[in-house]
């Protein structure tokens, strides 16, 4: 299905991702017919305060509030890998006054990990725009006698199952990135799940782990200080913040490109003019100086079209779903 995404019509692609286009009146209106927005807008951040979803929701919310002339209030509804907050949004009125800062997991991963979900990830939401994304990084303890990804792969092949990699937990993007890597590189690496990325990184710093796959904000300062060694990034091009670290393609893994993204979505059925206005404002918001400062942690600000976001969601479901089924990954 993914390979034919370019041939899928605009409405069909948005429907596959969860957003069904409706009629397009001249002005953005709520279902009541009143001009939109005429009251505060709520953005649900389905993870705890201080996390990346929360920071992005507040940052883009501040810019949207200025552009739309209404307060944007962030509400943290954490739990079950984002599912608690997602249910709140999916059950909310499709009137443009409730949005969600979704993660990769909510729309593209959780359906393969949880036996049931309290919402429909494929039909419950309308994509607006990706706000930011991040590559994954292959990071090891400097005591390992390897300086690049090719040497690391050779070591892993010579020592099947003897290298230990930590992650923030079973089913997290770090765990799944490791699963995709072992398949792409044809190696065996032992996965060690933690309760969060911070304890995994601390054990890596202490020498109790051999490596992790994680996003830049978690490890970039340790890489810059020399406490950890980055062997590879999964972005299409090298990161400006770490220009000496090769990409996966340069390391001989051209199809290996896992990433984490956060995007703004609305309940399915939200009027098309409202979605279009929100997308246009997000595209402007990511250019604001206040948001550009977030790139210092390794984020890439996006602000893409609804159609591109929809295509990404569909492609990611295939990528992560295949990895979860292949490795029989389950939550514990």
Task: Give yes or no for residue 10 having a pLDDT over 60.
Answer: no
Among 290, 298, 192, which Cα is nearest to 235's?
298
Q: Please compute the mean of the pLDDT values over residues 57-63 and round it to a whole number.
A: 97
Alpha-carbon distance 140 to 227, whole Å?
9
**Dist CA 135 CA 142 (whole Å):** 21
Label residue 278 by pLDDT band (50, 70, 90). very high
CA 143 to chain CA centroid, Å, is 31
Task: Report the predicted TM-score, pTM, of the whole model to 2 decimal places.
Answer: 0.86
* Rounded Cα–Cα distance for residues 53 and 73 (Å): 14
Please state, for a pLDDT cut of 70, what percent of the chain lies above it: 89
Residue 13, Cβ density class (10 Å: 0-12 exposed, 13-18 middle, ≥19 buried):
buried
Residue of 297 and 246 predicted with greater confidence: 246
Q: What is the mean pLDDT of residues 157-167?
A: 97
3 pLDDT above the threshold of 70:
no
Average pLDDT over residues 249-268: 95
164-167: strand order across its sheet = 190-193, 164-167, 211-214, 137-140, 229-233
Residue 48 reports pLDDT greater than 60: yes
Domains and CATH numbers, the chain: 2-134+259-327 (3.40.190.150), 137-233 (3.40.190.10)
Residue pLDDT, tens place only, 201-219 = 999 999 999 999 999 999 9
d(CA 84, CA 46): 7
pLDDT given at position 113? 95
Confidence band for 24, pLDDT divided at 50, 70 and 90? very low
**Quick check: 26 pLDDT over 50?**
no
CA distance 211 to 214: 10
Q: For residue 245, what pLDDT is reported?
A: 96
Angle at 214 between CA 293 and CA 76, to 5 degrees: 60
Residue-level pLDDT at 204: 97
| Structure confidence at residue 91 (pLDDT) | 97
Specify the 3-state DSSP secondary structure of 330. Answer: coil
């Amino acid at each position: 299905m993914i390979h034919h995404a370019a041939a899928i019509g605009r409405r069909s692609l948005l429907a596959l991702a969860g957003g069904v286009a409706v009629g397009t009146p001249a002005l953005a209106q709520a279902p009541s017919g009143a001009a939109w927005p005429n009251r505060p807008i709520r953005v649900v951040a389905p993870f705890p305060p201080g996390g990346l979803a929360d920071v992005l929701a507040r940052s883009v919310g501040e810019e949207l509030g200025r552009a739309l002339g209404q307060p944007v209030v962030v509400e943290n509804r954490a739990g079950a890998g984002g599912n608690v907050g997602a249910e709140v949004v999916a059950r909310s009125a499709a009137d443009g006054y409730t949005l969600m800062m979704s993660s990769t997991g909510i729309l593209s991963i959780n359906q393969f990990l949880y036996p049931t979900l309290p919402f429909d990830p494929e039909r419950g939401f309308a994509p607006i725009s990706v706000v930011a994304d991040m590559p994954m990084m292959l990071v090891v303890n400097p005591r390992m006698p390897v300086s690049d990804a090719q040497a690391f792969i050779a070591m892993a092949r010579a020592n099947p199952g003897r290298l230990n990699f930590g992650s923030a937990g079973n089913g997290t993007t770090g765990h799944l990135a490791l699963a995709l890597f072992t398949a792409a590189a044809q190696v065996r690496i032992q996965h060690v799940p933690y309760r969060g990325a911070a304890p995994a990184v601390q054990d890596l710093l202490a020498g109790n782990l051999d490596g992790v796959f994680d996003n830049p904000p978690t490890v970039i300062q340790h890489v810059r200080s020399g406490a950890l060694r980055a062997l590879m990034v999964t972005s299409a091009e090298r990161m400006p913040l770490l220009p000496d670290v090769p990409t996966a393609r340069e390391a001989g893994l051209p199809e290996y490109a896992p990433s984490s993204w956060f995007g703004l979505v609305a309940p399915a059925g939200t009027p098309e003019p409202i979605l279009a206005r929100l997308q246009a404002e997000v595209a402007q918001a990511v250019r604001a100086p206040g948001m550009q400062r977030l790139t210092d942690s390794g984020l890439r600000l996006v602000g893409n079209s609804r159609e591109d976001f929809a295509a990404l969601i569909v492609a990611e479901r295939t990528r992560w779903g295949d990895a979860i089924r292949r490795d029989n990954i389950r939550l514990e």
